Amino acid sequence: MPNPSKAAVHTDSAPAAIGPYSQAIIAGGMVYCSGQIALDPATGKLTGGDVRAQAERVLQNMSAVLEASGSSLAQVVRCTVFLKDMNDFAVVNEVYAKYFEGTIPPSRACVAVSELPKSVDVEIDCIALAS
């Protein structure tokens, strides 16, 4: 039975979930966006060879999910960045900053992990205000 206090978000402009989860959930005036990796939404295949290209695709995917929810990157209040190698921090930070330019940057955590889905180098999730 559907829960009227939460709604799933789905868009073909971002990769389909690769497990039993939603691209995002809208609940309590917030959008909880699942972690995005560098999958091309059209093909479902990994894009970009280096961490810069992966970060670009990740943030494009996250933006598409937020737009499908009626929100946007400007409404993001919290992000978590997962890196396979903390030596990639500066490059990912540079790409990330471009996507939040002109907005109040969200709070953020960045952690290094031993492995990410599909062996990607970066994954980002977020929480945003629902518009």
Share of the chain above pLDDT 70, in %: 97
What integer is the mean pLDDT of 102-131? 96
pLDDT for the residue numbered 131? 80
What integer is the mean pLDDT of 15-19? 89
Phi-psi region of 116 (alpha: psi -120 to 50; beta: other; left: phi over 0): beta
In sequence order, which residues have a C-beta less than 8 Å from that of residue 98 and are 6 or more positions away? none
- Told to judge if 110 belongs to the known catalytic residues of this protein, a careful annotator would answer yes
Q: Please give the model's pTM, rounded to 2 decimal places.
A: 0.94
Which residues are registered as beta bridge partners of 81? 110, 124
Please state the φ and ψ torsions of residue 14, each to the nearest 5 degrees.
-135, 160
pLDDT for the residue numbered 27? 97
Its CATH class, for the domain covering 6-129, is alpha beta
Which residues are registered as beta bridge partners of 128? 31, 76
Under the banding of pLDDT at 50, 70 and 90, the label for residue 2 is low
Domain coordinates of the chain in residue numbers? 6-129
Higher pLDDT, 2 or 63: 63
pLDDT for the residue numbered 91? 98
Enter the tokens of residue 58.
Answer: 């990740």
Catalytic residue among 33, 79, 110, 126: 110
Quick one: which H or E segment has residue 64? helix 51-68
Please state the φ and ψ torsions of residue 28, each to the nearest 5 degrees.
60, 35
Under the banding of pLDDT at 50, 70 and 90, the label for residue 47 is confident
Q: Hey, how many other C-beta atoms are within 10 angstroms of the C-beta on 106?
A: 17
